[in-house]
Amino acid sequence: MPNINVQLDINALRDFIKENPSSVFKGKKDYFSLTLYANDVPDKFGNDFSVKPRLSKELKEEFKKADKKLPFIGNAKIQEAYDPSKYSKPTTPIKNAKVEVDDSLPF
């Protein structure tokens, strides 16, 4: 299964939270939810997703009434899953590899 690499615009996220403090879910710890929106095709930078805040029901209604759009917080890219068959094994075992030592070093 591939990993997803996410890049967030911390300034945009901070500004959004300042303007909408109710977007932070309070509990034993504070939580902020994000939603990944899949792009139909990767953008010019190869990003597969857009990242936007996930809103509570109340905040959604508030945004709808004010005709506000969700801010862009970041993007995400699917990282190719590691496939060991794509990498060749070393031809010389490490225990038999020749290592040159430079004795002229002062330490």
Q: How confident is the model over 32-57, as a mean pLDDT?
A: 92
The helix or strand, by DSSP H or E, that contains position 7, with its residue range, turns out to be strand 3-8
Residue 96 is predicted with a pLDDT of 64
pTM of the model: 0.66
What is the rounded distance in angstroms from the CA atom of residue 73 to the CA atom of residue 75?
7
Residue 51 CB-density burial (10 A; 0-12 exposed, 13-18 middle, 19+ buried) = buried
Decide: 55 and 23 in contact? Cβ < 8 Å: yes
pLDDT tens, residue by residue, 48-100: 999 999 988 888 899 899 998 889 999 999 987 767 777 776 666 666 666 67
* 3-class secondary-structure state, position 36: strand
Residue 92 is predicted with a pLDDT of 61
